Structure 1
Amino acid sequence: METINLLYVMIILFYCLSVLGYFIDFMQNSQKVNRAAFWLLSIVWVLQLVFLIIRYIQFDRLPIMTLFEGMFFYAWIIVTISLVVNRLYRTDFLVFVINIIGFSVMAISMLTPAGDVSERLAELFIFELLVIHVVVLMLSYGVFTLGFAFSILYVLQHQMLKQKKWNNRMVRTGNLLTLLKGSYVCSLIGFPLMLTGLILGLVYAWVSMEAVPFTDMKVISSFFVLLVYGVYLFYYKVKDMRGYQMALFHIGAFLILLINYLLSSTFSQFHFW
């Protein structure tokens, strides 16, 4: 137990140093610091993976069952996505924004119970269907997080252009068209992932309890999130809407997603941690 606690502390420490490095690079435009931040983030990814493997061996199940494990897994997905994005697009500021969210999730997870799941919850997770349901939803959250980062950078870029602040940060942020399209593509990927995850959850509920909890607060709020992203996709693709307002709409959609993830389980009788 002491080993895994030490590992968790190391993850938090290295993650903090990495985000700090990206912040310094954001302010000072230092490629040396940027490279150090990237390698620190790579170490964080490895340590997170080791942590998940240890939890798997310790409890003999996938470590995604508790609120703590769910948030930790979510943070690992965010780090994974940011490392891939850093290699493919070389958009340093995008990586910075993504990992502010990832580190925040890790920090909040410190306040949640880290123990094993209750006997009742363990019984529910016997079926592989529910495991897939959770994993698919977590992947959708990771993709939506990336889209949120694109939208944040779009808003920042738009404000700098509006105020005529021409500097190197604008070049490193990426052009407006790329950022807006990035938000759209992430929503286009995240939407079917989330829809699939919700359908799998409903199917499992029917199989295990012979009832579909349509009136459950978590179910209602999750489908509301899906509806909001569906409206965004509709206006982007069908109505051909672009620009600043769409970026703000996308940011609002992600904030609703976070509220759904962090708060709605508190008022849910079907979902519990």
Structure 2
Amino acid sequence: MFKFGWLYDVTIILYCFSLIGYFIDFLHNNRKANQVAFWLLSIVWGLQTVSFLSSMIQLGHFPILNMAEGLYFYTWVLVTCSLIINRIFRVDFFVFFTNILGFVIMALHLFTPVEYKSEVLSEQLVSELLLIHITIAILSYGAFSLSFIFTMMYELQYTLIKKKKWGTRLKRLGNLSTLDRLSYSLNMIGVPLLLIALILGIVWASIQVESFQWYDAKVLGSFMVLIIYSIYLYLRVGKGLQGKVLTYWNIGAFLVLLTNFFLFGTLSNFHFWV
């Protein structure tokens, strides 16, 4: 994916130092370390954006059509959203927790094949419908991932309050209602995005893929993710449940999402993106 290997090396090194800075801030409430880490992460975002745009120019299409490209775009989405949300809501530690996940995804990118050589695939790359399907699907996964981060922060905050461990860290995590509301809002965004992505994907597969089957592992897994998160919204809106009651459901839903993303795709008969 990358024409300049050194750019990727610099990006992941700066990413590492940024996480170290956030970790120091998390342990010792060091605002200076937080500021340095923020600017390092901003540089990481800039380098990722430059690399992504250069790849787009070089390849001639939106570079998300294989696992390596998809993971990189997924990381970019997480970094972008974490910076924007932190800027708007000023939720301390959110950037740290989000980018732990982002760094893990970027590390996984190192072990994924960059190219997928196939004459059939080269014809499928021109499908704009496929591009939109994958882009929206990854954006929905990004929303669910950020919701999961807020849920974990909620769990940590709840545990600290229950154990009466008062201090600066407790205040900087944000109040429970805010964390719960942001987690719900991101799921509320992710569900319709995933639904749209599934509709577009099914339309595209029905037209382009001769071996398309409704009982394919990836198809069933994606609908399972959609149903689980839809139930979450029903419990929140229809039943009026919130807070601690839904945290475990959200955590379980995210685990199913990861299973679908990394496992079910490998069992698919046609999902060449994985």
TM bucket normalised to smaller: over 0.9
TM-score (norm 2): 0.96
Larger mean CA deviation between 49-58 and 14-23 belongs to 49-58
Q: Give the deviation of 1:96 after TM superposition.
A: 0.8
**Which residue does the alignment assign to 1:234?**
234
The answer (yes or no) to whether the contact 1:21–1:36 under 8 Å persists in 2 is: yes
Asked if residue 197 in structure 1 is aligned to residue 197 in structure 2, the reply is yes
**Which residue does the alignment assign to 1:262?**
262
In structure 1, C-alpha distance between the alignment counterparts of 2:9 and 2:122, rounded to whole Å: 27
Task: Please identify runs of 4+ aligned residues in structure 1 that moved more than 6 A.
Answer: none
Larger mean CA deviation between 260-269 and 113-122 belongs to 113-122
The answer (yes or no) to whether the contact 2:212–2:270 under 8 Å persists in 1 is: no
Q: Give the deviation of 1:125 after TM superposition.
A: 2.2
The alpha-carbon distance between structure 1 residues 206 and 2, as it changes in their structure 2 partners (threshold 3 A), is closer
Q: Give the deviation of 1:58 after TM superposition.
A: 2.3
The alpha-carbon distance between structure 1 residues 166 and 76, as it changes in their structure 2 partners (threshold 3 A), is same
**Which residue does the alignment assign to 2:142?**
142
Asked if residue 208 in structure 1 is aligned to residue 208 in structure 2, the reply is yes
TM-score (norm 1): 0.96
**Which residue does the alignment assign to 1:158?**
158
Report how many aligned residue pairs link the two structures: 273
The alpha-carbon distance between structure 1 residues 205 and 89, as it changes in their structure 2 partners (threshold 3 A), is same
Asked if residue 132 in structure 1 is aligned to residue 132 in structure 2, the reply is yes
**Which residue does the alignment assign to 2:97?**
97
Return the letter of the residue paired with 1:124: Q
Return the letter of the residue paired with 2:137: L
Return the letter of the residue paired with 2:170: M
Name stretches of at least 5 consecutive residues in structure 2 with no aligned partner: none
In structure 1, C-alpha distance between the alignment counterparts of 2:2 and 2:91, rounded to whole Å: 38
Q: Give the deviation of 1:211 after TM superposition.
A: 7.2
The answer (yes or no) to whether the contact 1:141–1:190 under 8 Å persists in 2 is: yes
Identity in percent: 47
In structure 1, C-alpha distance between the alignment counterparts of 2:115 and 2:40, rounded to whole Å: 28
In structure 1, C-alpha distance between the alignment counterparts of 2:81 and 2:113, rounded to whole Å: 26
Q: Give the deviation of 1:117 after TM superposition.
A: 4.8
**Which residue does the alignment assign to 1:110?**
110
The answer (yes or no) to whether the contact 2:143–2:189 under 8 Å persists in 1 is: yes
DSSP 3-state at the match of 1:113 = coil
**Pairing 1:1-273 to 2, within 5 Å after superposition:** 4-115=4-115, 117-209=117-209, 213-272=213-272, 273=274
In structure 2, C-alpha distance between the alignment counterparts of 1:166 and 1:141, rounded to whole Å: 34
In structure 2, C-alpha distance between the alignment counterparts of 1:117 and 1:3, rounded to whole Å: 18
DSSP 3-state at the match of 1:92 = coil
Q: Give the deviation of 1:3 after TM superposition.
A: 5.5
Return the letter of the residue paired with 1:26: F
In structure 1, C-alpha distance between the alignment counterparts of 2:116 and 2:207, rounded to whole Å: 25
Q: Give the deviation of 1:233 after TM superposition.
A: 0.6
Q: Give the deviation of 1:2 after TM superposition.
A: 8.5
Name stretches of at least 5 consecutive residues in structure 1 with no aligned partner: none
Return the letter of the residue paired with 2:202: L
Larger mean CA deviation between 199-208 and 127-136 belongs to 199-208
In structure 2, C-alpha distance between the alignment counterparts of 1:141 and 1:45, rounded to whole Å: 19
